[in-house]
């Protein structure tokens, strides 16, 4: 397989993985509030505020931590907005795409093309560069 064919195969693999991940993407608003950075539990309690910074204690695993920023996500297609780069939902989406790319590695060109034709075509993202 020459470099061009390898590049095309990798590109097709990524497109199919993105289409599959978008099918599972929750387009409803998602809200990330305060959660434990160790176990992601939302079972937390306030634990003082030394120096004016609120601290929390996880009731599930016992870890103490500072408040992290809250992020609200309304993305229909992840990655369209510049703010997506710091969004934990976008990072989770990218992880899902990577897992899908890895799972598609053993497929042939014909199998990938069949999967792509079965999927809904992706709409090209429009970026607002203001």
Residue 9 and residue 109 in contact, taking contact as beta carbons nearer than 8 Å: yes
User: What's the token pair of residue 28?
Assistant: 């409803």
Summarised one tens digit per residue, pLDDT across range 86-106 is 777 788 888 999 999 999 999
Q: 44 in helix, strand or coil?
A: strand
DSSP per residue over 9-30, as a string?
Answer: HHHHHHHHHHHHHHHH---S-E
pLDDT band at 17 (very low <50, low <70, confident <90, very high): very high
Give tens-digit pLDDT for 26-61: 655 555 568 888 888 889 899 998 888 889 999 999
Please give the pLDDT value at position 72: 66
Q: How far apart are CA 27 and CA 25, in angstroms?
A: 6
Which pair of tokens denotes residue 96?
Answer: 């899902």
């Amino acid at each position: 397989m020459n470099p061009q064919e390898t590049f095309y195969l990798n590109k097709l693999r990524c497109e199919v993985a993105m289409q599959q991940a978008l099918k599972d993407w929750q387009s409803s608003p998602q809200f990330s509030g305060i959660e434990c950075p160790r176990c992601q539990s939302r079972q937390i309690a306030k634990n003082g505020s030394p120096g004016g910074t609120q601290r929390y204690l996880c009731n599930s695993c016992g870890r103490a931590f500072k408040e992290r920023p809250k992020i609200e996500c309304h993305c229909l297609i992840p990655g369209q907005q510049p703010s997506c780069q710091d969004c934990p939902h976008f990072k989770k989406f990218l992880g899902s795409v990577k897992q899908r790319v890895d799972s598609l590695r053993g497929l042939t060109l014909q199998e990938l093309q069949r999967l792509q034709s079965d999927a809904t075509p992706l709409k090209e993202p429009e970026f607002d560069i203001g």
